[in-house]
Structure 1
Amino acid sequence: MHVTGSRGRLLTSRRSLLGLAGVAAGTSLLPRAGRADAASTIVPRRPIAPADALIAFGHTGPITDGGWSMVHDRGVQAVRRAFPGIRTVYVESVPYSADATRIFRQFVAEGANMVFATSEYGDFIKDVSDRAPDVAFMECDGTTLTPNLGWYYVSHWYASYIIGIAAGLMSKTGRLGFIGAFPIPSVYASANATLLGAQSVNPAMTLQGITINAWFDPQAATQAATALVDNGCDFLCGIMDEPAYLRVAVARGVRAAMWNTGMLKYGPEAYVSSVVLDFNDFYVAQVRALLDGTWRPSAAFLTLGHGVDRDAWGPGVPEGVARQADDMRDRMLAGYNPFRGPIHDNHGRLRVPAGVTLDDAAIYHCDWAVAGVSGLG
């Protein structure tokens, strides 16, 4: 347990995972589709003094995971710096079960004015938010917009596409290996974008995926990565909350691109780059709006260069490869969208006709694999 700030109160849970302190947020956002009628029923909010505010965070993993939950915890720390004296509480490793509902209810019972779920908890959080209309709720990777519940996510597919270009230029076997948690839209979006980027410079590229049913399981990730390299993949990528498969890449002499944060230190000789996330500004902005009395539920993406980007290129990335990949990054920052038809799925069905461009909402809800992907569905 970690306690700081004024009038700290004790929150207990079966997960034994607590912290009280200060909070902050702010970022450039791209609005997305939600329940359009939600805003019309919002009850006006009153300003809150920082000393009277309690902000709660429910994390999907441990904040020491070196990845997803650690990045969100950095956002919690940014809130504390921005609003000295504000109180925060967090619970790590919130399960995807009825225990999540109990934890979110505890936040409300403890007097939280705002609750962030740093992963998708669906009805587990919505059931609580529906019964606590005076509390502001935000769900990362969510889909529901109500008068007091919004969601936010990162448009990570652009950074993945950029890294995919490097993968396509550097791979000798033409086979990418991908480690994911579950066959869900965020995983499809990452795998699809990486392969499409690779295919933009080498149309023969393929991607083999393995899902391990966990975001944080170093042993399973190591086993999956080893199997992929044994099957001829010479470039590893994926969405994991720790660097296990980078260590496999080092041991096996292949390349790897990571996720969540820069992980160069875990294997510089194999490291290519990483999709890096930064929720600091977003959290500061949300809390500031709550304190000002101007908070409204929203559906928003953190965009390329504003909350998500690629990490610096690893030392083994040739200058020409970096330049070619970054040329695409420059085009994206200028407004170019590379997710253009025709795009077929891995069963041969035309999913995106010629002349059609996938917007962020369509990519975010994607539940199919592009041609060349195997192992994900």
Structure 2
Amino acid sequence: MIDPSELSRRRFMQLGLNVGAAAGASMLLPGLVRPARAALPGISEEEAVIAFGHVGPITDEGWTWSHHQGLEAVKAAYPKAKYLEVESIPYSADATRTFRQFVSEGANILFSTSNYGDFFYDVANRAPDTAFLECDGRTLGDNLGWYYVAHWWPTFVVGVAAGALSKTGKLGYVASFPVPSVYSSTNAFLMGARTVNPNATLQAITINSWFDPQAATQAGTALIDNGCDFLFGIMDEAGYLQVAEQRGVWAAMWNTDIRRYGPNAYVSSIIVDFKQYYVEQVKARLEGKWAPAGTILKMGAGVDRDAWGAKVPADVAAKADAVRKDILDGKFNPFTGPIKDSTGAVRVKDGEAVDDAWLYNWDWSIEGVTGVGS
């Protein structure tokens, strides 16, 4: 079995991206559509077989639930199509078997809602008439595209609120694996907090899972015991939010609004919404206009912050929202150098602004972050 962190690192090496845009509408990265491959031929709605493969359970109220809502939106738009859906696909040869089964059942378009690397690509290479799309992927093929969300922008905004709310300046983070999505999340969060408290730090605990309520609960408890008074993370469930509620500290979440598990602790969440994207991709496939591309959904169009928690002071919300507005208006790019890594070395020069493609592939921790990697 290949560790998912290794899969992500492999993909990171397979495609170096160097283009991007400021926050706003969804972004199609130019130069990533392979012009040698014509669009796949159209099919009728009645002929369509649409498959979704998930990393977790659709009841997680997190990442997989959000993708399932996208599937439900496609069903509403195209009720005559046939739908296939499998939850909790492991990172192993079982994934390849599941994706092959989708193809054998006639899938015309197949979405992998997490990154499965070679387990996915091997199937795509053998099924040229099927459109394959991998969430958090980095590889393009004649019939293979990828998509993701620019979560680092709303994460920076929530970080601004964290900097204002934390009394100790010690922020805690429950991490899954040392992969780019975690680096960009931890880094953006601390950078936002440091606009309010330049001395803020972030301690992460990596639990090697996207969905493990027991491990997330234990990590949240350990972080608070170490003095953290604001918890954040990239989990698909509410484990550490419940700990924050019990211990009287703040917490921000990922994927969906799950404030009911910690109404006093809840600050916000990084909300993802794939519904429009999925409907658009299926529409293109049916009309014979689908071609492989890499797409990053932007803040305000696929990802954003949730409504502020009931206990968040109005002045804190206003401060963070002013930053959000400036980002959306193109007036402010918080990811501008100098940016130092955890060793103190300057990795982004003074005045240099990095873009979404760069942020999508971030693979090192900034100064002040511990527990993820160098």
Fold equivalence (TM over 0.5): yes
1:171 offset after TM fit, Å? 0.1
Which amino acid in the other structure matches residue 230 of structure 1?
D
Give identity over the alignment, percent: 57
The alignment status of 1:332 with 2:291, answered yes or no, reads no
Match of 2:135 in 1: 140
Secondary structure of 1:257's counterpart equals: strand
Q: 1:5 matched to which residue of 2?
A: none
2:352 to 349, 353, 356: 356
What corresponds to 2:76 in structure 1?
A: 81
Confirm or deny: 8 A CA contact 2:220 2:231 kept in the other structure.
yes
Structural mapping, 1:18-33, within 5 Å: 28-32=25-29
2:92 matched to which residue of 1?
97
**1:369 is the counterpart of 2:372:** no
Count of residues in correspondence between the two structures: 349
Match of 1:298 in 2: 293
RMSD across aligned positions (CA)? 1.2
Where 1:358 maps in the other structure, the secondary structure is coil
Q: Deviations over 1:234-284 (max 9, x none)?
A: 000010000010000001000000000111111110000000000000000
TM-score, L = length of structure 1: 0.91
Is 2:145 the partner of 1:150? yes
Q: What is the distance in 2 between the residues matched to 1:124 and 1:57?
A: 15
Distance between the aligned counterparts of 1:134 and 1:350, measured in 2?
46
Q: Output the amino acid matched with 2:27.
A: L
Moved more, 250-259 or 262-271: 262-271
C-alpha contact (below 8 Å) 1:55/1:89 kept by paired residues: yes
Deviation, structure 1 residue 97: 1.0
* 1:43 CA displacement: 3.2
Where does residue 17 of structure 1 map in the other structure? none
Alignment of 1:158-177 (within 5 A): 158-177=153-172
Please show how residues 183-194 of structure 1 align to structure 2 within 5 Å.
Answer: 183-194=178-189
Asked if structure 2 preserves the Cα contact closer than 8 Å seen for 1:33 and 1:361, the reply is: no
Determine the C-alpha separation between the residues in 2 that align with 1:62 and 1:86. 23
Bigger drift between 41-50 and 334-343 goes to 41-50
What's the secondary structure of 1:351's corresponding residue?
strand
Structure 2: how far apart are the matches of 1:280 and 1:351? 36
- Aligned-partner residue type, residue 375 of structure 1: G
Aligned-pair CA distance for 1:83: 1.0
Find the partner of 1:113 among 105, 108, 113.
108
8 Å CA contact 2:38–2:291 kept in 1: the answer is: no
SS in 1 for 2:199: coil
* SS at 1:143 equivalent: coil
SS in 2 for 1:153: strand
Single out whichever of 299-308 and 327-336 deviates more from structure 2. Answer: 327-336
Instruction: Return the letter of the residue paired with 2:141.
Output: T
Q: Which 4+ runs in 1 deviate beyond 6 A? A: none
CA contact (8 A) 1:173 1:233 kept: yes
Deviation at 1:28, TM superposition (A): 4.4
Deviations 1:296-348 (A, max 9, x none): 11101010000000000001111000000000110111123210000101111
What's 1:343 paired with?
Answer: 339
Aligned 1:277-292 pairs, distance under 5 A? 277-292=272-287
Structure 1 residue matching 2:69: 3-state secondary structure? helix
Q: Secondary structure at the match of 2:46?
A: helix
Paired residues of 1:136 and 1:148 also in contact (CA < 8 A):
yes
Distance in 2, matches of 1:345 and 1:140, equals: 27
Contact 2:25 2:299 (8 Å CA) reproduced: no
Q: Give structure 1 stretches of 5+ with no counterpart.
A: 1-26
The separation in 1 between residues aligned to 2:260 and 2:357, in whole angstroms, is 34
| Contact 1:145–1:151, Cα closer than 8 Å, also in 2 | yes
| Conservation of the 8 A alpha-carbon contact between 1:179 and 1:239 | yes
| Residue type at the aligned position of 1:70 | W
Deviation at 1:358, TM superposition (A): 1.3
82-91 or 159-168, which moves further after superposition?
82-91
Distance 1:288 1:171 in 2: 46
Aligned partner of residue 116 in structure 1, secondary structure: strand
* Aligned with residue 238 of structure 2, among 227, 243, 251: 243
Indicate the SS of the match to 2:298.
Answer: strand
Shift of 1:87: 1.3
